[in-house]
Amino acid sequence: MRHAHDFAIGNFKLYLASKPVDFRKGMDGLAAIVMNEFDLDPFSGAIFIFRSKWADRLKLIVWDGTGLVMAYKRIEGAGFVWPQMTDEVITINRSQFEALFEGLDWQRVVLRHTCRPAVV
């Protein structure tokens, strides 16, 4: 079971569906897509992000250990930056998710590893 402190985005795997889904679907319909089309477990604790046919909307689902949670965001302006449409699901990292959620070009985000000095 997850605890409240586990819900930082950094502790989750993040999957992005590149093909738009029918936004009339609720959490059960989206969970069915995760199982049937992506061959992944919607109850694994990973975050699954879906796009609408309009660039300005996203939905995400995640299992929190006690139930399935769904969030919906509509962004103002030019909309979200989405990958090229395919039937595939894309794994993204926390930094990319944060950029996507803010409407920035998440595909330009790269992870930089910093070296910490050794403690002697």
Work out the mean pLDDT of the chain and round it to a whole number.
Answer: 85
Query: In this structure, is residue 117 part of a structural domain?
Result: no
Q: Is 62 exposed, middle or buried (0-12, 13-18, 19+ CB in 10 A)?
A: buried
Task: Give the pLDDT confidence of 32-50 residue by residue, as tens digits.
Answer: 999 999 999 999 999 999 9
Task: Give the pLDDT confidence of 55-67 residue by residue, as tens digits.
Answer: 899 999 999 999 9
Query: In this structure, is residue 81 part of a structural domain?
Result: yes
Q: Are strands 47-51 and 14-17 parallel, antiparallel or unpaired?
A: parallel
Domain extent, residue 27, equals: 4-108
Q: How confident is the model at residue 115 (pLDDT cuts 50, 70, 90)?
A: low
Q: What is the pLDDT of residue 8?
A: 45
Query: In this structure, is residue 39 part of a structural domain?
Result: yes
Render 34-81 in DSSP notation, one character per residue: HHHTS---TTSS-EEEEE-SSTTEEEEEEE-SSSEEEEEEE-STT---
Q: What is the pLDDT of residue 114?
A: 52
Task: Compute the CA torsion angle 24, 78, 42, 45 (nearest 10 deg).
Answer: -140
Query: In this structure, is residue 116 part of a structural domain?
Result: no
How many domains does the chain contain in total? 1
Query: Which of the pair, 62 or 78, is modelled with greater confidence?
Result: 62
Query: In this structure, is residue 95 part of a structural domain?
Result: yes
Residue 27 has pLDDT above 60, yes or no: yes
How much of the chain, in percent, has pLDDT values that exceed 70?
82
Please name the residues in contact with 102: beta carbons below 8 A apart, sequence gap of 6 or more.
none
φ/ψ of 70, rounded to 5, equals: -125, 135
Report the predicted TM-score, pTM, of the whole model to 2 decimal places.
Answer: 0.80
In the block, residue with structure tokens 């699954």:
48
Query: In this structure, is residue 68 part of a structural domain?
Result: yes
Query: In this structure, is residue 69 part of a structural domain?
Result: yes
Query: In this structure, is residue 114 part of a structural domain?
Result: no
